[in-house]
A and B are shown apart, each in its own frame.
Chain A
Amino acid sequence: MSGQPRMVTSAERLRRLLALVPYVSARRVVGLAETAQTFGMTERELIDDLNLAWCVELRAPEPYCPIDLSYEDGEISISQAESIARPLRLAADEASALLVALRMLAEAGGDGDAVARLIAKIEDAAGAAGAASAQVAVQIEHPNARGMAAALDAALAAGKRVHLRYYNPGRDEETERDVDPMRLLVVEGRTYLEGWCRRAEGVRLFRLDRVLSADVLDVPAEVPDKAEPKDVDAGLFTASPSDVLVELDLGPGARWLAEYYLCDSVTELPDGWLRVALRTPDTTWVRRRALQHGEDVRVIAPAGLADEVRAAAAAALALYE
């Protein structure tokens, strides 16, 4: 988050200054608060940086101060920035990180035209520094989710409510619901619609590859003020106090579950086994996974769930007798 105090190395600070001086120079006059926000720093830190630039003095051949600036009444202006009035070229990591992100945005079905124009401009400006980005690619789940994303993006832009038919494989359940769209997200390679679900009366995430159909309704979306978008940067699924703590031992054939589900802890055991701990509001899917993987999944806790798995296996086996 911006504005939080943290240690900045001299290199990071120099990098910031070499962007800050051109940023202000290019704009003649710019607001202190707005600049601090753009650069993710406090106004105090910004003023420290401006003072530092202003203090630069070259002593030879003749002493002079190459940078002249002023800040007052919440506004900054730079009257002289000499040789650093233009920003430094993009470094290889900077150009590549940004180009990979932009191509991912294009693949996700984001605003195609502006994304394509920006990619071309940055490729042009970066030159050789952007070369490595050609070796890094991001592909997004399910081709059919892309058409769905475009349809939902349009509903979002038009501020319309949508009617979804949605499949939940963990519960093997199909539901229908009206949703007021809030935003589209791509997290861990999958596209999600975040919206106010009128059936659950809460903010919900819907995986687009599990949306069986989406109809845009001719009804304006009404997202209540209390609807808070999820902080997906802290993880897509955040645990709630009422969740059940589940502990599982996973054999080699079931190790992938540790990557597929968000775990609180993952510990290596002998012979390629793993012990994982995770929290979930609903253990139906755990029972399903345990049956699916047979002896490669052992339920350690809760004890009741281990009994449930055994009972379900016995009931299923009885049908084969």
Chain B
Amino acid sequence: MSKRRTERLLSIVVLLLSSRRYLTAEQIRAAVSGYPEEQEAFKRMFERDKEELRDLGIPLETGRSTPFDDDLGYRISRQDYELPEIHLEPDEAAVLGIASRVWQSAELAGAAAGAALKLRAASREADGDGAASPPPGIQPRLTTQEPAFGPLWEAVRDRRPVTFGHRKSGRSEVTKRILEPWGVVNRRGRWYVAGHDRARDAPRVFRLSRITGPVKPAGPPGSVKVPDGVDVREMVRDWDKPQAREYTATLRVRADAGNALHRWGRAAPDATHPGWDRLTIDYSDPEWYAGYLAGFGQDVVVLDPPELREAVIRQLKGALA
């Protein structure tokens, strides 16, 4: 059954590509096998077929060949249909192979592989040549485990506003957002969406893993305009920017442990505590750094500043509970 449908769709494509004139539904029905006799059933089936062809990206045009034609007709312009001539060098064909395996999510992996096949089909390069140049040594992989990725990719592609629930880092409550998405960015392996937050009336960046529940359209396609000069990479980089290390701590660290601290800090043996070093080191976020130092357990003692010392003690008492 599916085979007959494929055959019918393929016949329509061949027919409409070879005709310069617009062909009416009746003319198509006469040329292509597989449509039912009954008129209503034919109409339904023909509608579904048109939709499927358009979903595949086939540029199905409607119009009339002369102003005197009663019925609308269909045709496919060859110029709009055909992929332009392209020639791939052997090293480019090798790169294409690597690139078509980057996406790990089924839908985009399928899209990239489909594109690669079309390009190889269009290119008259001798395939055997690919073996002559070794493929690049680097093999990137891109995963999209966040359920929000698919709807946001589509919203960015279709320039459509969306609404979703968002949970801030370290908070338990979920707030509802309406966003005009400007772009999605993967930074350090995490996906972010950047855009205009309507309620805040300001540009905002959200991490996809902090989006809870479904992402739904909140306006028609084409209604989002990305302002000139917006660089979504820049927006995400700024949002995720490391802070300046404006504080300095004094620590006592076991001489044979705390490798990372020894690498980044300035250490000297502690005269009063054999086997320990006294070490000064710069840091940016006091709350995060207290946790980081607590992680070293009994290999590190904070001497100064007192706020950091207190924060580490609080953290350790929390772990004791």
Contacts and interface: CB of A to CB of B under 8 A. Distances in A.
Interface of A: 8-11, 13-20, 22-23, 26-27, 34, 38-40, 48, 52-53, 55-61, 66-67, 82-84, 86-98, 100-102, 104-105, 108-111, 113-115, 117-118, 121-122, 124-125, 129, 132, 134-141, 149, 153, 156-157, 167, 169, 172-174, 183-191, 232-233, 252-253, 255-256, 259, 271-273, 287-297, 309-310, 312-320
Contacts of B292: 292
B92 interface: yes
Contacts of B62: none
A141 B242 CA distance: 13
Interface stretch (B65-73, B183-191, B198-206): B183-191
Contacts of B83: 86-90, 125
B56 A291 contact: no
Interface size of B as a range: 35 or more
Given A105-B140, A136-B156, A313-B297, A91 B56 contact: yes
A315 B56 contact: no
Contacts, number: 377
Given A10-B6, A137-B232, A83 B14 contact: yes
B45 interface: no
B84 interface: yes
Which applies to chain B's interface (DSSP): helix, strand, loop or mixed? Answer: helix
B88 interface: yes
Contacts of A186: 138-141
B255 interface: no
A115 B313 CA distance: 53
B32 A91 contact: no
A233 B137 contact: no
B291 interface: yes
Given A16-B117, A94-B115, A290-B319, 8 more contacts: A14-B56, A86-B82, A89-B57, A118-B88, A153-B137, A185-B139, A316-B300, A319-B298
Nearest to B140: A186
9 contacts: A17-B10, A59-B31, A91-B115, A100-B142, A110-B98, A121-B88, A125-B119, A187-B141, A320-B313
B170 A83 contact: no
Interface in B176-222: 182-190, 209
A59 B209 contact: no
A139 B317 contact: no
Interface in B103-144: 103-104, 107-109, 111-124, 127, 134, 136-143
B258 interface: yes
A299 to B, nearest CB: 10
B95 A118 contact: yes
Contacts of A135: 156-157, 182-184, 226, 232
A57 B297 CA distance: 78
A10 B11 contact: no
Contacts of A114: 89, 91-92, 94-95, 136
Contacts of A291: 294-297, 315-316, 319
